[in-house]
């Protein structure tokens, strides 16, 4: 597609439920990133996928968080047993990666509210 | 790993004045430094970037400078306008992969 697509755009869930967030990167972008942004806060790195390499999961805050990506396509971020502190906007970004490339392109995010 | 600091956290300027935001990084291997603008409720968008083989880059009212020796880089906005009001994030990366972001600067341009 023309840009990074994320769905749903908004999600309200009850505490304790599982949620799945989806990111469809720009075609041909080998790198895909998930960030969390709490209200009025900065960009908190969660996980990074680069092609078929093992993902960098160093930013995942707990074992309730997991993400998958098949090849260079769609990625899903799953949060199990959601807690109120999980409420945030979850941003996905993709990049062609590699030297000489320009920056990330961000999706519009999924606003998650845990009630 | 890389650590990026950003100052100030908030900045208010009068319309027409200049604004400067400064970032420092820790990893001397970092060689690509983009700046992102995030308007309220919207996604971050790339506004300008600089590579380590360049000391300064300009794009109309926006410029970025890089001091590799001191490991810091700055965003300069001249003739500020109300639509420049946003949160600005700097970032550092090696070869355009896995950026580390600064904590952001909230810029308010007062009419």
pLDDT one-digit tens code per residue, A15-42: 999 999 999 999 988 889 999 999 888 8
Tell me, what's the pLDDT at A40?
A: 85
Q: Calculate the alpha carbon distances from A49 to B39, B45, B62, B74 in Å.
A: 27, 20, 32, 29
Average pLDDT over residues A95-114: 81
Average pLDDT value for residue range B101-110: 96
CB contact under 8 A, B34 and A102: yes
CA dihedral A81, A94, A36, A107 (to 10 degrees): -90
Which residue, among A91, A89, A39, A113, has the nearest Cα to B36 in the 3D structure? A91
pLDDT digits (tens, 9 = 90+) for B21-66: 999 999 999 999 999 999 998 999 999 999 888 899 999 999 999 9
Q: Using the beta-carbon criterion (under 8 Å), do B95 and A98 form an inter-chain contact?
A: yes
Q: Do the beta carbons of residue B64 and residue B81 sit within 8 Å?
A: no
Candidates B89, B96, B100, B108, partner chain A, best to mutate (most A CBs within 10 A): B96
Residues of A with CB under 8 A from a CB of B: 31, 33, 41-43, 45, 48, 50, 56, 91, 95-109
Phi-psi region of B31 (alpha: psi -120 to 50; beta: other; left: phi over 0): alpha
Q: What integer pLDDT is reported at residue A95 of this predicted model?
A: 86
Check residue A1 and give its pLDDT: 53
Distance from the Cα of B99 to chain A's closest Cα (Å) equals 9
pLDDT exceeds cutoff 90 at A52: no
- Cβ atoms of B103 and B7 within 8 Å: the answer is no
Q: What percent of chain B has pLDDT over 90?
A: 81
- Minimal CA separation from A85 to chain B, in Å: 19
Res. A5: pLDDT tops 70: yes
Q: Convert chain B into a string of H (helix), E (strand) and C (coil).
A: CCCEEEECCEEEEECCCCEEEEEEECCCCCCEEEEEEECCCCCCEEEEEEECCCCEEEECCEEEEEECCCCEEEEEECCCCHHHCEEEEEEEEECCEEEEECCCEEEEEEC
């Amino acid at each position: 597609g023309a840009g990074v697509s994320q769905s749903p755009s908004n999600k309200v869930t009850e505490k304790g439920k599982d949620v799945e967030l989806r990111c469809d990167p720009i075609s041909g972008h080998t790198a895909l990133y998930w960030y969390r942004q709490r209200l009025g806060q900065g960009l908190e790195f969660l996980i990074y996928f680069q092609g078929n390499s093992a993902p960098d999961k160093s930013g995942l805050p707990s074992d309730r968080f997991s993400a998958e990506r098949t090849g260079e396509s769609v990625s899903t971020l799953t949060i199990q047993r959601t807690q109120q502190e999980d409420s945030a906007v979850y941003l996905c970004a993709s990049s062609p990666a590699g030297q000489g490339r320009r920056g990330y392109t961000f999706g519009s995010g999924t606003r998650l509210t845990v009630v | 790993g890389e650590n990026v600091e950003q100052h100030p956290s908030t900045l208010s300027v009068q319309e027409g004045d200049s604004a400067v935001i400064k970032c420092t990084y820790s990893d001397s291997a970092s060689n690509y430094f983009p700046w992102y603008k995030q308007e309220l409720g919207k996604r971050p968008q790339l506004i300008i970037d600089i590579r380590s083989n360049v000391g300064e880059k300009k794009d109309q009212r926006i410029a970025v400078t890089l001091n590799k020796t001191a490991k810091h880089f700055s965003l300069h906005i001249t003739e500020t306008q109300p639509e420049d009001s946003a949160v600005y994030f700097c970032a550092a990366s090696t070869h355009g992969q896995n950026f580390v972001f600064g904590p952001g600067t909230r810029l308010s341009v007062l009419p």
